[in-house]
Amino acid sequence: MVTTPLVPSDYLDLVSPLRAGADLRGRIEAVHPETGDAATVVIRPGRSWRGHTAGQYVRIGVDVDGVRLWRAYSITSPTNRQDGRVTITVKAIPDGRVSNHLVRRAKPGTLVQLDQPTGDFVLPLVTPTKVLYLTAGSGITPVMGMLRDIEFDDVVMVHCAPRPQDVIFRSELHDLVADKKLRLTEVHTDTDGILDIARLDELVPDWAERETWACGPAGLLDAAEGHWAEHGVQERLHTERFRPSIVVAGDGGEVTFSATGMTVDADGATPLLDIGEEAGVLMPSGCRMGICFGCVTPLKAGAVRDLRTGEITEAEPGVLIQTCVSAAAGPCDIER
């Protein structure tokens, strides 16, 4: 009543945006280059931060050229860091608006929006005795969060990167090797070619006995899933995908955003989230890869196709769809 039509937090945010009870935000305190195109961003999260488990990721909302964009990045700092800060390590991908901004232009002092950390690409409660990490490129980031968190008895890592200088955390990994805390195989794909999954027998002869965490591009994970299944040990493989593997769905149709009163044509391969944003509808968004459910929206009419599985969802009362991984399967009506 004192502040109507605003709420008191609108004023408190002016002086203390990271206070307890505020919408969760963080302040960038430093950006350290890791390789030519990767950097570690040190963030002081707000007081409502609940902490993370090694291997989890966080959604971060960054204003790039004035536009708020949300992405998910793995947390690379250990869970017991004394100063309360957390780090994410970001690799700039070609044309990646957020990643390039964070690696090359982000400035200390900038506020970013945060969500609580999440994800189940984590270690079990009982630490396994024999571990294999199979990673490629920036797929090393959640694994680094684990390596920094716990000391293992027997841990092997196979990591792929184009060239030695592209290996993120290379000197830290080599230190671990020197201390005999890690056995490491680097695959330099520029010279060695893409890792043939069958080579695992030679690189890590006991791979099938190891609890394995794999993270990297879809090609590597598909190959790994196939290989582990073939040997009947798929329950030992844990994977984390950064992007959904998109099935071309065909169809498409006219999409109505009923709350905004807008109708646009959509093809069958573009996520409804992109369609909506392109049309200027305020779409809630999150990880953009189908895992955070931050974008769920009622489907009022019509049908959509899940781009990952091809599954068709038809409108029914109470049906929510994830707009980031759903495309129009014929005309549909989205309540936004």
Partner 1 sequence: MTAIDPTAHLTAEQIEELGRELDAIRDAVIASRGEKDAAYIRKVISAQRKLELVSRGVLLFSFFPPAWLLGTAGLSVAKIMDNMEIGHNVLHGQWDWMRDPKIHSTTWEWDHVSPSEQWKHSHNELHHTYTNVIGKDNDLGYGIMRVDEDQTWHPFHLGQPLWNFINACFFEYGIAAYDLELGKNLPKRRRKNPEFRARAKAVGRKIRKQVLKDYVIHPLLSGPSFLTTLAATFTANLVRNIWTHSVIMCGHFPEGVQVFERRSIKGETRGQWYLRQMMGSANISGSRAMHFMTGNLSHQIEHHLFPDLPSNRYAEVAVKVRALFEKYELEYVTGPLPKQVVSAWHKVFRLSLPNKKPKVKTPDCEQELVAA
Give the binding site for partner 1 (CB under 8 A).
1-6, 10-11, 14, 63, 65-69, 260, 277, 280, 282
End-to-end CA distance of the chain: 29
Q: By C-beta, is 94 or 261 nearer to partner 1?
A: 261
Q: By C-beta, is 69 or 184 nearer to partner 1?
A: 69
CB of 23 to partner 1, least distance (A): 9
Q: By C-beta, is 266 or 283 nearer to partner 1?
A: 283
CB of 75 to partner 1, least distance (A): 24
Q: By C-beta, is 8 or 94 nearer to partner 1?
A: 8
Q: By C-beta, is 113 or 189 nearer to partner 1?
A: 113
Q: What gap in Å lies between CA 32 and CA 102, rounded to an integer?
A: 11
CB of 284 to partner 1, least distance (A): 8
Q: By C-beta, is 17 or 217 nearer to partner 1?
A: 17
CB of 296 to partner 1, least distance (A): 16
CB of 264 to partner 1, least distance (A): 16
CB of 288 to partner 1, least distance (A): 13
